[in-house]
Amino acid sequence: MTEVIEDILILAGLVVLTLAVYGVVRMPDVYTQTHAASKAAFLGITLLLASAAMSGDGGIITRALLIVMLLAVTTPVAAHSIARAARRRGERMRTPDAVDETQA
Amino acid sequence: MISDVIFFFGIAWIAGLLGVLVVRVARARTTGQRILALDLLTLILVGLLALAAGEDRAPYALDAALGIALLSFVATLAASRYYESRRPFT
């Protein structure tokens, strides 16, 4: 039973990671790409780490928890930093009907 | 234990995703998109190491994953700060 859950978690993680890459390839500008790159990638890696933690090994579980907590803190910060840098350097919003509410 | 079919399919699939992202980094339209694609590439490398750790029951693969995650965060922050103001930290 555990093996089946591990396999399902891996397949789900692969699907979510594929969605993240697809979003980065297909989204028109960097502001929308940050959504796919930060949220979907974090969820996909969490699923893969959960599959590894299903083995029940204490060393793997603690390390997986550590990595998930670290990514939960760092991924949004990195995405925000990239989007702010792009905005300050004047990258255009290419999404249709995009509304820019910042002051330059 | 992960079944072998799923494991090798996952390794090949993640390698394909990494290849797509390398092309994406090389052909990005703006610098912001290039930094973002590099960040996602290193995150997916962490996923690959998680897959290897689950197959081998090997905690040391996750040590490497933790190091890569930390390095990716610092590198992304430094690159975007530098892109923003031409100085890493102001």
Q: For the segment B56-80, what is each residue's pLDDT rounded down to a tens digit?
A: 888 899 999 999 999 999 999 999 9
With beta carbons less than 8 A apart as the criterion, state whether B54 and A10 touch. yes
φ, ψ at B88 (rounded to 5°): -60, -45
Instruction: State the Cα–Cα distance between residues A73 and A52, nearest whole angstrom.
Output: 21
With beta carbons less than 8 A apart as the criterion, state whether A88 and B84 touch. yes
- For A100, counting Cβ atoms within 10 Å of its Cβ (0-12 exposed, 13-18 middle, 19+ buried), the class is exposed
Query: Counting one residue from A and one from B, how many pairs have CB atoms under 8 Å apart?
Result: 160
Task: Say yes or no to pLDDT of A102 above 80.
Answer: no
With beta carbons less than 8 A apart as the criterion, state whether B22 and B38 touch. no
Domain assignment of residue B69, yes or no: yes
Give every CB contact of residue A32 below 8 A, 6+ residues apart in sequence: A23, A95
Domain assignment of residue B90, yes or no: no
Residue B16, domain extent: 4-85
Give every CB contact of residue B26 below 8 A, 6+ residues apart in sequence: none
Tokens of A21: 């890459």
pLDDT interval class at B85 (50, 70, 90): confident
Tell me, yes or no, if A93 comes closer than 8 A to chain B by beta carbon: no
Chain A residue numbers touching B10 (CB-CB < 8 A)? 10-11, 14
Stretch B46-52: mean pLDDT: 93
Domain assignment of residue B36, yes or no: yes
Stretch B16-35: mean pLDDT: 94
The count of domains in chain B is: 1
Instruction: State the Cα–Cα distance between residues A39 and A63, nearest whole angstrom.
Output: 21
Stretch B4-25: mean pLDDT: 94
Closest residue on chain A to B33 (Cα): A30
Instruction: State the Cα–Cα distance between residues A27 and A50, nearest whole angstrom.
Output: 28
Stretch B51-60: mean pLDDT: 89
pLDDT interval class at B1 (50, 70, 90): low
Closest residue on chain A to B14 (Cα): A14
Identity of the residue numbered B48: L
Q: What is the pLDDT of residue A76?
A: 95
Domain assignment of residue B14, yes or no: yes
- Model confidence over A11-63: pLDDT tens digits? 999 999 999 999 999 999 999 999 999 999 999 999 999 999 988 888 999 99
> The whole model's pTM is what?
0.91
Domain assignment of residue B32, yes or no: yes
